[in-house]
Amino acid sequence: FGGDRHGGSGLRFTAVPPNTDDKVTVPEGYETAPVVRWGDPVLPGAPAFDFENQTAAAQAAQFGYNCDFVTFFPLGQQRGLLWVNHEYTDENLMFRGYKSGDTASEEQIRIALAAHGGSVVEVERVGRSGRWNLVTQGRRRYNRRVTAQTPMAFSGPAAGSDLLKTAADPAGARPLGMLNNCAGGTTPWGTVLSGEENFNQYFVNGNGVPEAQKPSLTRYGVSATTGIPSGNRRFDRVEERFDLAKHPNEVNRFGWIVEIDPFDPDSTPVKRTALGRLAHEGATTSLAGDGRVVAYMGDDSRFEYVYKFVSRKRYIPGFDRHNRTLLDEGTLYVARFTGDSPAAEIDGTGKLPADGLFDGSGEWIPLVTGDVSHVPGMTAQEVLVYTRLAADKVGATKMDRPEDVERNPVTGGVYVALTNNSNRTPAQVDEANPRPSNKHGHILEIAERRNDAGATTFAWSLPLVCGDPDDPSTYFGGFDKSKVSPISCPDNVAFDAEGNLWISTDGNQLGAHDGLFAMPVRGSERGHLRQFLSVPVGAETCGPLVSPDQRSVFVAVQHPGETNGATPEAPTSHWPDGGTSQPRPAVVVAWHRQGKKIGS
Ligand code: FEO
Ligand code: CA
Ligand code: CA
Ligand code: CA
């Protein structure tokens, strides 16, 4: 991507060694502290967290469970807002004696509904440091909880579609709540985009839907032959809409990108149908060369696709009323990746092909533009509601679980985290997904034609093939592998002011805990990956977010203590409160003790 060929990454920290400590570990010179934990009061008047006496009313006013995407909106120098997704609930860890959704109390089910969604919380800087604390006193005018029951709206070409209509909402316009919100992004006009990911797990009685609906149900991971799937939370016991035999379209009302205005706690979150329906990891925006808004998206399941949306109209700074319509009209594309090396050289060993790189060219295949479908046999509304089925028809490339996709604001490169794929067979490898039974995942870099996010063709390569650097199938941008950290299962990506790539992981298969890593993507340091932080027992690392002033990095520590068989009677983590406490998902901040830039 041109630019600085002499390094200049600004990364000088000493890597955190792989470890299994029940704490957040940061490099020498840095400190870390929780900012906000599951159960902390969000709305004024919310009760303090009490693990032994939980209620749904309290949870609906407190910070939710399993924090994931984190973003930060400064309010001057000393204050700011955090938006945080709450992806899902771990009832086995939340409630003593919990057996299953079948036997849970109705209050426990209501607590779980309230623990999903997202939170807006006000935070304040500690002195002049990079540390931030939750504001716990005063008006906190922006603080908000969004839950699985918050009234929302559909907008865009599929709003009002027959496929979205239910008995409770015959207009197909007013969905209730959001589920499994994983990663996300922000818009240039200051709103949040939050992705509904594995929404399939919340429904029962898929065997009771009309025959014609069964193929689409199955394609989205909902069984069309099972009544009550094992492990189901049984939300249907308190809200009938989760029973597909009675309300078959309710499932179509999840799996969207939700736009939320963090500065208006009374605003209605909007499900933007123009961005398609899939297991949305998240959506991140950039601007095309001509000012159109581009949203990059991954569908996080094995053999799913990478997407982007390009708005029809241009972003106009300051014209808020106009900008808030941009995500309702445009073209939704899906990616095809073509390798440039002979297929015989992609032999499944992970050995680099003769040209020295896993790389090639690609194209963005249009699926739908506004009300016009580009997919034979499907209407525009069908393409948007059954986007996976549409992408299947146009020859898109099946990837190793596409998670976060985000454009580097410094170089313009687009980075795709492909977390792993245990199911890829040797016969299914291709240059973009070159390893069978891909345990450790890889990062794919897209160079859009003319470095324009609005382009319809691109070049791509794999700058990072993850794993233990001693494993010959790994690749670290050509950097000396004796000097890099092991990494496994990249999930979220972010960038600092120098354009360094920050990667958080979920599901480390190398025997150590998940963490946060930083890697320059250009110059002589390209591929010099170092671990910056590690998380406690059972947790994955989410967020991450380097603050605009570069002095803080926020990380969501999701599901601490989530290990096989762990219960409140036998917890495997006591993070963050220590002693004999129960584990609590929490957002942490890390900062340099002397106020230096993150990564110094
Ligand atoms: Fe919820 Fe794809 O991670
Ligand atoms: Ca090649
Ligand atoms: Ca994720
Ligand atoms: Ca994850």
The pLDDT tens digits for 531-549 are 999 999 999 999 999 999 9
- Tokens found for residue 294: 């581009």
Tell whether the model's pLDDT for residue 7 goes beyond 60.
Answer: no
Per DSSP, the three-state class of 246 is: coil
Residues 6+ apart with CB under 8 A from 435: 348, 350, 424, 429, 442, 465, 473
Contact 260, 146 (CB under 8 A): yes
- Tokens found for residue 66: 């399993």
Contact 572, 580 (CB under 8 A): no
> Can you tell me the mean pLDDT for 428-448?
98
The pLDDT tens digits for 217-275 are 999 999 999 999 999 999 999 999 999 999 999 999 999 999 999 999 999 999 999 99
Residue nearest to ligand 1 atom 1, measured at CA: 182
Residues near ion ligand 4 (Cβ under 5 Å): 491, 506
Closest by CA position to 68, among listed 163, 194, 170:
194
Mean model confidence pLDDT for the chain:
97
Torsion of CA 63, 66, 70, 76, to 10 degrees: 20
Q: Give strand pairing partners of 494.
A: 502
Instruction: Report the C-alpha gap between 532 and 545 in whole angstroms.
Output: 13
Determine the distance separating the centroid of ligand 4 and the alpha carbon of 491, expressed in angstroms.
Answer: 6
Q: Please count the CA atoms within 13 angstroms of the CA of 554 that sit on its side-chain side.
A: 27
Query: Would you give the distance in Å from CA 287 to the centre of its chain?
Result: 20
Confidence grade of residue 39 (pLDDT, cut at 50, 70, 90): very high
The pLDDT tens digits for 162-196 are 999 999 999 999 999 999 999 999 999 999 999 99
Q: Give strand pairing partners of 490.
A: 505
> Can you tell me the mean pLDDT for 3-18?
78
Q: Is the CB of 403 under 6 A from ligand 1?
A: yes
Closest by CA position to 516, among listed 480, 549, 557:
557
This complex has an ipTM of 0.95
> Can you tell me the mean pLDDT for 588-592?
98
State residue 88's pLDDT score: 98
Instruction: Report the C-alpha gap between 351 and 310 in whole angstroms.
Output: 36
What predicted TM-score, i.e. pTM, was given to this entire model? 0.98
Closest by CA position to 224, among listed 239, 195, 238, 203:
203
State residue 2's pLDDT score: 38
State residue 8's pLDDT score: 67
State residue 151's pLDDT score: 98
The kind and range of the H/E element at 361 are: strand 359-369
Tell whether the model's pLDDT for residue 485 goes beyond 50.
Answer: yes
Residues near ion ligand 2 (Cβ under 5 Å): 340-341, 353, 355, 357, 359
Determine the distance separating the centroid of ligand 4 and the alpha carbon of 541, expressed in angstroms.
Answer: 8
Distances (CA, A) of 397 to 302, 356, 430: 12, 22, 9
The pLDDT tens digits for 74-121 are 999 999 999 999 999 999 999 999 999 999 999 999 999 999 999 999
Q: Report percent pLDDT > 90 for the chain.
A: 98
Exposed, middle or buried, 20 (CB in 10 Å: 0-12/13-18/19+)? exposed
What per-residue string of b and e applies to 318-333 under the rule 16 or more CB within 10 Å gives b? eeeeebbebbbbbbbb
Distances (CA, A) of 315 to 23, 184, 211, 287: 43, 20, 43, 8
The pLDDT tens digits for 558-586 are 999 999 999 999 999 999 999 999 999 99
The pLDDT tens digits for 116-164 are 999 999 999 999 999 999 999 998 999 999 999 999 999 999 999 999 9
Q: Please count the CA atoms within 13 angstroms of the CA of 534 that sit on its side-chain side.
A: 24
Q: Is the CB of 281 under 6 A from ligand 1?
A: yes
Tell whether the model's pLDDT for residue 4 goes beyond 60.
Answer: no
Q: Which ligand is nearest to the CA of 353?
A: 2
The pLDDT tens digits for 295-345 are 999 999 999 999 999 999 999 999 999 999 999 999 999 999 999 999 999
Ligand 1 atom showing the smallest separation from residue 182 Cα: 1
CA geometry: angle at 428 spanning 427 and 429, to 5°? Answer: 100
State residue 6's pLDDT score: 42
Q: Is the CB of 182 under 6 A from ligand 1?
A: yes
Ligand 1 atom showing the smallest separation from residue 298 Cα: 2
Q: Which ligand is nearest to the CA of 88?
A: 1
Instruction: Report the C-alpha gap between 467 and 512 in whole angstroms.
Output: 12
